[in-house]
């Protein structure tokens, strides 16, 4: 079989088994897992699902400890926008903490497992302190700055009180914004959210009691809610995934993946590097993330 014949065969299989599912009436399911970052492909996927006439509702399946505050903000806003055209349900699996919960709060309805983890409402700014290490190896960094607070705090020397105050002001401003976001999205009093927003995490059961979750369960509970919004419970739930690096090829990402298995070689190096690196390695700026064994999100 020639390569062209193989390509034609794969293209036909993809169109037959993968294509029609999004063209028929269905419920779109979008996975949001791992560390939250400013993910343009995910934003576009949410926008496409919101605009799709065939997708009668959107389910976002969340398993995330959080990530960058800005990344969570952008995804939150995209889902709030999607709610204008169709119901959105957050399905919390293992964990939706910090920016992960920020995203969950954007939904019309939140469903979690009884032992799922939710909460950790707060913001943190972290930086490494390498001064002692540099002293041991005899390295010193000198800097000439336009003003004392430029590039502060620095990992190369102790932060001044002015630098700490500057960063703390930013953290608290973002914290207030996060609290207001949850209060508005969950239709809760701000004082009620503040009582929960000390960095604490909760089980799904506790989240239901304190207003952070609407129901415990899974697909049955999701379908039950969507039915109250006019979405029939016999619709198929279809996974929507963003295109990978091969999506610009003639066949698209689904066919490229199948070709990879047939031909035994990756079609892009970047995918392999990302896989070996374990995804996003570094987070910059303000972070809303739950860390096991770390400090609370708010001092």
Closest Cα to residue 53, out of 24, 75, 81, 12? Answer: 24
pLDDT of residue 180: 97
pLDDT of residue 6: 54
Confidence band, pLDDT 50/70/90 cuts, at residue 128: confident
Residue that wins the pLDDT comparison between 284 and 151: 151
Is 37 inside any structural domain? yes
Is 81 inside any structural domain? yes
Overall domain count for the chain: 1
Confidence band, pLDDT 50/70/90 cuts, at residue 281: very low
Is 259 inside any structural domain? no
Q: Is 253 labeled as catalytic in the residue annotation? A: no
Q: Is the pLDDT of residue 149 over 60?
A: yes
d(CA 55, CA 290): 32
Q: List pLDDT tens digits, range 172-226.
A: 999 999 999 999 999 999 999 999 999 999 999 999 999 999 999 999 999 999 9
**Reported pTM:** 0.77
Is 203 inside any structural domain? yes
Q: Is 81 labeled as catalytic in the residue annotation? A: no
DSSP string, 257-277: HHHHHHHTS-S-HHHHHHHHH
Is 146 inside any structural domain? no
pLDDT of residue 184: 96
Q: Which of 41, 145, 150, 227 is catalytic?
A: 150
Q: Which of 61, 64, 98, 174 is catalytic?
A: 98
pLDDT of residue 16: 45
Contact 34, 68 (CB under 8 A): no
Is 196 inside any structural domain? yes
The CATH number assigned to the domain holding 61 equals 3.90.226.10
Is 216 inside any structural domain? yes
Q: List pLDDT tens digits, range 13-68.
A: 544 444 446 789 999 999 999 999 999 999 999 999 999 999 999 999 999 999 99
Residue that wins the pLDDT comparison between 92 and 269: 92
| Two structure tokens written together for 88 | 């959105």
Q: How far apart are the first and last CA of the chain?
A: 65
Is 1 inside any structural domain? no
Contact 170, 282 (CB under 8 A): no
Task: Calculate ∠ Cα 171-177-180, nearest 5°.
Answer: 140
Q: Is the pLDDT of residue 263 over 80?
A: no
DSSP string, 168-222: HHHHHHHHHHHHHHHHHHTT--HHHHHHH-SS-EEEHHHHHHHTS-SEE-SHHHH
Q: Which domain holds residue 206?
A: 26-121+191-234+268-289
């Amino acid at each position: 079989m020639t390569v062209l014949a193989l390509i034609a065969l794969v293209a036909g299989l993809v169109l037959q088994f993968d294509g029609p599912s999004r063209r028929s009436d269905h419920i779109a399911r979008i996975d949001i897992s791992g560390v939250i970052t400013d993910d343009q492909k995910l934003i576009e996927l949410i926008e496409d699902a919101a605009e799709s006439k065939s997708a009668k509702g959107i389910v976002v399946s969340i398993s995330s400890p959080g990530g960058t505050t800005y990344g969570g903000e952008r995804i939150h806003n995209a889902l709030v926008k999607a709610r204008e055209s169709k119901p959105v349900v957050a399905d919390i699996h293992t964990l939706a903490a910090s920016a992960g919960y920020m995203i969950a709060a954007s939904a019309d309805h939140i469903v979690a497992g009884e032992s799922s983890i939710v909460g950790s409402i707060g913001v943190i700014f972290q930086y490494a302190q390498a001064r002692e290490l540099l002293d041991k190896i005899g390295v010193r960094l000198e800097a000439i700055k336009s003003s004392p607070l430029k590039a502060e705090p620095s990992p190369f020397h102790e932060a001044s009180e002015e630098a700490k105050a500057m960063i703390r002001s930013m953290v608290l401003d973002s914290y207030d914004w996060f609290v207001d976001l949850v209060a508005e999205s969950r239709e809760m009093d701000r004082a009620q959210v503040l009582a929960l927003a000390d960095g604490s995490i909760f089980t799904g059961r506790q989240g239901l009691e304190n207003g952070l979750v609407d129901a415990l369960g899974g697909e049955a509970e999701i379908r039950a809610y969507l039915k109250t919004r006019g979405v029939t419970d016999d619709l198929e739930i279809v996974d929507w995934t963003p295109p990978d690096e091969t999506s610009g090829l003639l066949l698209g990402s689904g066919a490229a993946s199948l070709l990879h298995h047939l031909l035994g070689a990756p079609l892009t190096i970047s995918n392999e590097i990302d896989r070996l690196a374990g995804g996003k390695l570094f987070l910059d700026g303000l972070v809303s993330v739950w860390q096991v064994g770390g400090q609370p999100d708010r001092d």
